[in-house]
Amino acid sequence: MGTTSVEPGTTAPGPKTNRIGLTVIEYKGGKTTLCAGCGHNAISERIIEAMYEMGVEPEFVIKPSGIGCSSKTPAYFLSRSHSFNAVHGRMPSVATGAMLANKKLICIGVSGDGDTASIGIGQFIHLMRRNLPIIYIIEDNGVYGLTKGQFSATADLGSKLKTGVLNDLPPIDTCALAVQLGATLVGRSFSGDKKQLSAMLKAAIAHKGTVMLDVVSPCVTFNDHEGSTKSYKYVKEHEEMLQEVSFVPHFEDINVEYDAGTTVQVTMHDGSRLNLRKLEEDFDPTDKIGAITRLNQAHHDGEVLTGIFYVNPEAPSFIDMLNVVDQPLATLPDSVTRPGKEVLDACMEELR
């Protein structure tokens, strides 16, 4: 069970609390066992902030993950939420099952580039198709950190390992795939970019369908050297931002006016607002086809493209399509899940 066991935050005089009266400590997790400087740690920090600032009830959050350094991180945030460190590359199916069982849960699934793009690409693709309510985060360092730095399927062509080995296979762009296949909020960020990543995570929490965030997260031990295309240095030098991303939650009624010419404002399902100040004149984050084209262009031009690529706040989610009752299936009473004797009798009669 969670390693912290603090009581629910009590408002004033105590420490600062969020809208549901919890302190930020109550969103923290255990001490990280990852390498000092690992990008993954920064992402965990951002998740803690975002959940705190959005005032999410930790007891209703689940944190499924696969296997890898990245997939260990759910142990380092939200100790008050249930975690499921499953098997390698199969987090999507476990997450799907859990959401089927209890539609009221908020699911943040953490994976790595190996866990997702190598062994897990099959389940990833089918998850994206379903638009399951989930925040799917790839902590993307281009290598298998936990097995000591072999290339994963997101490694760029020509990227170099410490050993000097060059990657000769094209990378899988998980964002392009996610958009192509049906995810409804897709973006890429960088573990080093607090502002952008926080805004994206909050938008993710406000979204009702599949959110897919590919977060470039350097592996300081195996893939942060000269010649790597997933190093802090490389990303800083080659990052190309599509927009300046900011987010206004529904419970804060700030009402800034934005010039539609320079900013795309997206109203999320829960009324929150996602503001995208254009850095590229004619990019439209609601145009699926355009988004894919732009992503492919970025590969062609060797850019590390970040920002929100595609968003569709209203598309029906998988749970909507299944048209299940409002209460969680997990806790339906027997009276509802076991039809009466008359039903059995009717069935028997039919078979006589």
Ligand X SMILES: Cc1ncc(C[n+]2csc(CCOP(=O)(O)OP(=O)(O)O)c2C)c(N)n1
Residues in contact with ligand X by CB under 6 A are 67-70, 88, 112-115, 139, 141, 143-147, 152, 219
End-to-end CA distance of the chain: 52
Q: Which long-range contacts (CB under 8 A, 24 or more apart) does 319-327 make?
A: 319/99, 319/100, 319/103, 319/132, 319/133, 322/100, 324/100, 324/103
The radius of gyration computed from the CA coordinates of the chain, to the nearest angstrom, equals 21
- Given other proteins, ligand X, Mg ion, none, residue 115, with its beta carbon under 5 to 8 Å by kind, binds ligand X
- CB of residue 46 to ligand SF4, shortest distance in Å: 16
DSSP-derived letter for residue 76 is: G
Kind and range of the H or E element at 278?
A: strand 273-278
- CB of residue 261 to ligand SF4, shortest distance in Å: 42
Q: Which residues 279-298 are close enough to bind a second copy by CB under 8 A? A: 288-289, 292-293, 296-297
- CB of residue 209 to a second copy, shortest distance in Å: 12
Q: Which of 45, 49, 113, 224 binds Mg ion (CB under 5 A)?
A: 113
Using a 10 angstrom Cβ sphere, with 0-12 exposed, 13-18 middle and 19 or more buried, the burial of residue 139 is buried
Q: Which residues 294-333 are close enough to bind other proteins by CB under 8 A? A: 322-326, 328-332
Closest CA to 203 of 280, 275, 259, 264: 275
> Hey, how many other C-beta atoms are within 10 angstroms of the C-beta on 238?
14
Q: Is 150 in the site for ligand SF4 (CB under 6 A)?
A: no
**Going residue by residue from 104 to 143, which x/- string records binding to ligand SF4, judged by CB under 6 A?**
-------------------------------------x--
Q: Which of 147, 262, 286, 296 binds other proteins (CB under 8 A)?
A: 147
Q: Is 221 in the site for ligand SF4 (CB under 6 A)?
A: yes
